[in-house]
Amino acid sequence: MILQLSGHNYQYEMENLCRVFLPGEKIILLDEEVGIENTEEKETFVKVILTKADRVITASACVEYDGRYAQEEKTLDLEKAEDENELERILAVCLYNAFAKVTGYFPEWGILTGVRPTKLMHSLINSQGENYAKKYFQDSLLVNENKTELARSVCSNENKVLDRIDRDKFSLYVAIPFCPSRCNYCSFVSHSIAGARAKKTIPQYVANLCFELEELGNITCELGLELQTIYIGGGTPTVLNCELMETLLKSIDSSFNTEDVDEYTVEAGRPDTITKENLNLLKSFGVHRISINPQSFVDEVLDQAGRGHDSYTAEAAYLIARSVGFDCINMDLIAGLPGDSTDGFVYSLKKTIDLAPENITVHTLCMKRSAALREHGRSFFEEHRANGMVKSASELLPQNEYIPYYMYRQSLSLGNQENVGWSIENKECLYNILMIEECQTVFAAGAGAVTKLKVPGKNIIERIFNFKYPFEYNNRFDEILNRKSRIKEFYRSV
| Domains in the chain: ranges and CATH | 1-106 (3.30.160), 164-483 (3.80.30.20)
Across all residues in the chain, what is the average pLDDT? 91
How far apart CA 366 and CA 184 sit, in angstroms, is 11
* DSSP H/E element including 392: helix 387-399
**The pLDDT of residue 370 is above 50:** no
Position 42 scores a pLDDT of 58
pLDDT of residue 25: 86
The per-residue pLDDT for 180 is: 87
- Give the pLDDT of residue 194: 67
With 80 as the cut, is the pLDDT of residue 395 above it?
yes
Mean pLDDT of 384-407: 96
pLDDT in tens, 262-307: 999 999 989 999 999 999 999 999 999 999 999 999 999 999 998 8
What are the pLDDT digits (tens) for 471-491?
999 999 999 999 999 999 999
Share of the chain above pLDDT 70, in %: 92
Cα–Cα nearest to 387, from 415, 360, 408, 367: 415
**Residue 190 pLDDT greater than 80, yes or no:** no
246 pLDDT above the threshold of 80: yes
Question: How many Cα atoms within 13 Å fall on the side-chain side of residue 328?
Answer: 20
pLDDT above 60 (res 347) = yes
Q: Give the pLDDT of residue 217.
A: 97
Contact 158, 121 (CB under 8 A): no
Which of 80-89, 298-307, 325-334, 343-352 comes out lowest in average pLDDT?
80-89
pLDDT for res 81: 64
Q: If pLDDT is split at 50, 70 and 90, which confidence band does 366 have?
A: confident
- Grade residue 89 by pLDDT with cuts at 50, 70 and 90: very high
- The pTM is what? 0.92
How many Å apart are CA 174 and CA 229, to the nearest integer? 11
Q: Give the pLDDT score at 189.
A: 61
Instruction: Choose from 84-88, 442-446, 490-494 the range with maximum mean pLDDT.
Output: 442-446
80-89, 128-137, 160-169: which range is least confident on average?
80-89
pLDDT at 40 > cutoff 70: no
Q: Is 380 a residue whose pLDDT tops 50?
A: no
pLDDT of residue 266: 98
Rounded Cα distance, 15 and 5, in Å: 10
3-state class (DSSP) for residue 171: strand
pLDDT at residue 8 in the model: 92
**Residue length, the chain?**
494
Mean pLDDT in residue range 1-11? 93
Residue 373: the pLDDT is: 53
- pLDDT average, residue stretch 207-219: 97
The residue-averaged pLDDT of 110-117 equals: 94
340-347 long-range CB contacts below 8 Å, 24 or more apart? 340/296, 340/298, 340/301, 340/385, 340/389, 341/385, 342/388, 342/389, 342/392, 344/296, 344/298, 344/301, 345/296, 345/389, 345/392, 345/393, 346/389, 346/392, 346/396, 347/297, 347/298
Position 21 scores a pLDDT of 93
Contact 447, 177 (CB under 8 A): yes
User: Predicted confidence band at 54 (pLDDT cuts at 50, 70, 90)?
Assistant: confident
The pLDDT score that the predictor gives to residue 376 is 41
Per-residue model confidence (pLDDT) at position 456: 84
User: Could you tell me what percent of the chain has a pLDDT over 90?
Assistant: 79
Q: In whole angstroms, how far apart are CA 417 and each of 143, 321, 325, 369, 404?
A: 12, 31, 35, 18, 15
CB atoms within 10 A of CB 409: 20
Q: According to the model, what pLDDT value does residue 372 have?
A: 53
Give the model's pLDDT for residue 412.
84
Confidence check: pLDDT of 223 > 50: yes
**CA pair distance 275, 236, nearest whole angstrom:** 13
Higher pLDDT, 432 or 374: 432
Greater confidence (183 vs 180) lies with 180
